[in-house]
Amino acid sequence: MLAAGAATRFGSPKQQVLVPQVLERVRQSSVDQVVVVAGAYEIETDAPTVLCRDWHRGPGASLRCGLRALPRDTEAAVVVLADGPRLAPAAVDRLIGHWRESGEEIVAATYRGQRGHPLLVARSAWDRVPDEGLRGVAATTIACDDLGSPGDVDTPADLL
């Protein structure tokens, strides 16, 4: 879970509010282990947490910190954002299922035709994550419209 940003539009560390909600949803999926990547702010959670000192370089830098913290036998990582409190556990499982069948390197959920999260990254692609993240990198997309968007909390009003 990427939770390293400065949350400047929110006006305070939104991670403190949102991480528990997103963590609960991820744990309802078939993911084996969750690692939270912190950066601008400390985050109190019962999940393993990695501090990414390079968080300011971009989401890719934070993602690389999280990937390095995973066990060596990890075959793929599911990436979720801390500001997506309505993440559907079934979306995570849908991406994992597709990846298990296809073996594709990068698989992303879409909502109304727009690419979003979760995102699955096979180990073979981990060393090619740019600082700006994977948004501009080609991915196989899987429609998750029926599961509802995970949300994108940028301001306190987005919590309503």
Per-residue pLDDT of the chain (160 residues; tens, 9 = 90+): 999 999 999 988 999 999 999 999 999 999 999 999 999 999 999 999 999 999 999 999 999 999 999 999 999 999 999 999 999 999 999 999 999 999 999 999 999 999 999 999 999 999 999 999 999 999 999 999 999 999 999 998 988 7
Q: Please say whether the beta carbons of 38 and 15 come within 8 A.
A: yes
Q: Residue length, the chain?
A: 160
Pairing of strands 76-79, 49-51: unpaired
- Radius of gyration of the chain from its Cα atoms, rounded to whole angstroms: 14
Q: Please say whether the beta carbons of 63 and 51 come within 8 A.
A: no
> Could you tell me the CA-to-CA distances from 18 to 94, 95, 108, 143, 158 in Å, in that order?
23, 22, 22, 24, 12
Structural domain boundaries, residue 62:
2-159
Q: Please say whether the beta carbons of 64 and 108 come within 8 A.
A: no
pLDDT mean across residues, the chain: 96
| CATH number of 107's domain | 3.90.550.10
Element of type H or E holding 18:
helix 14-27
* Structural domains in the chain (count): 1
Q: Which DSSP symbol is given to 82?
A: T
Q: Which DSSP symbol is given to 83?
A: T
SS3 143: strand
- Which pTM does this prediction carry? 0.94
Q: Please say whether the beta carbons of 94 and 120 come within 8 A.
A: no
